[in-house]
Chains A and B, each alone.
Chain A
């Protein structure tokens, strides 16, 4: 029984088909990546799952049908998207951004526990808690975006290109954290252009090209696949 089951998801902007009927299955506790070239429809897939764009097809999460639901309801049901470009609230403080992550929760004691937890994961955020989030560096903003998503105690975390625009050292730190979070039991769907990184940390992978899934399988095997090596790993 998968936590997330997607059947025939289609996303179109005007007349242009960005996602052409894809199937995805993610089991509880998995770290799955969705890789593919720029413009393959990876971000549109995530936006469709969250109801941010009009879409067709079936999305089942934890047994419930999410198709046609409003974005805020989907978020409240336990799916958190860390959007491409991070989407932090620049004119709110770091602490206020984190509080927004826990917006739909009322369990104040548990929220404090989670706040301490994300501060332990990202000590930099605690140092800067009263600073406006817009003044953080790109890497710090990415940390904040992930920490904010974790504040909602998501059962499924969707990460859209967390490495984008970051220095290699920062990318490594972000990925270490993603691995840590996955090990703590959070189910993750990771979208990446950087196939090398994504295949290294994930258990399974989907390869997306021109709006369709062209390949899928276990990440270590895909990493050895000659087609993948030629197309995405530059070999």
Chain B
């Protein structure tokens, strides 16, 4: 019972981070039918930029409260990642808008490698640690230990997802995004500047990635130039699980994937008689990805392609 409750909590925390990253994949796919494989790296850059700012703030103003320092890091990381996402689309995808679909997929992977290496040159190969600036409270609820940070991550992530849902479903910009996702051509006939909508989609997704990057590095206490790779693949799996292109699907897929992964890691030792340990955690995301692709390629909430207008 204790393991179950604990792993559900851990899964919810991880899942709400995956969901934020998965939203970036799914929004871009919805509009361009492109998998932006560099999105995981945007998350990593977000963490790195935030940690750099946090380090600088601590050096210059050692008296500042921890929460303010972290907030400062996040507030710089978000616009930095937005700018990066905007640039990635301009450089790697826009020139290939009318090229065969394989071409932007290759530049996506290329962009991902470029960003990893650039980050390695700037921040080095070492793990960068996240200083203990955040409240460290711990509570035991129903046998599960819950930290302040976990509560904070889940609340912030759900707030952001709620805000994004409102943006997409209720605002003029969101309506134009959904219209563009259905038909770029007809959206243009309505006077929508599709290039602008595409840029804004990358900007919004990258902002979410920045927040997720800071959350991950705060949660694990470190960041690394390679961290975006696995996080990106898992978030992509989450987006596919929820139904790629579907915004609520990405939220649901992220949460589910986090929970599946945590439960899998919690019980894999028991299930295999101790043969496999919890370090096999990463296997579950890909097990889920393959299962979804085989049995329900459209994902949990994805629409059948025939439904498209």
Contacts and interface: CB of A to CB of B under 8 A. Distances in A.
B190 A104 contact: yes
A103 B176 contact: yes
Contacts of A148: 190
A80 interface: yes
Interface string A91-108: 110001001110110000
Contacts of A76: 191
A89 B309 contact: yes
Contacts of B187: 100
Contacts of A80: 189
A71 B307 contact: no
B193 interface: yes
A152 interface: yes
Contacts, number: 77
B182 interface: yes
Contacts of A103: 172, 176, 190-192
Contacts of A91: 178, 182, 303, 307-309
B189 A89 contact: no
B148 interface: no
B185 interface: yes
Nearest to B197: A72
A71 B194 CA distance: 10
Given A80-B189, A134-B307, A152-B191, A100 B183 contact: no
A233 B165 CA distance: 54
- Residue from A71, A96, A152 having most chain B Cβ neighbours under 10 A: A71
A100 B194 CA distance: 13
Which 3 residue pairs of A and B lie closest in terms of their CB atoms, listed nearest first?
Answer: A90-B309, A104-B191, A71-B188
8 contacts: A52-B188, A75-B188, A75-B189, A80-B189, A89-B186, A103-B176, A134-B309, A152-B191
Interface of B: 172, 175-176, 178-179, 182-183, 185-194, 303, 307-309
Given A70-B193, A87-B189, A88-B186, 16 more contacts: A52-B189, A70-B188, A71-B189, A72-B188, A72-B191, A72-B192, A83-B185, A83-B189, A87-B186, A87-B309, A89-B309, A90-B182, A92-B179, A100-B192, A101-B190, A103-B192
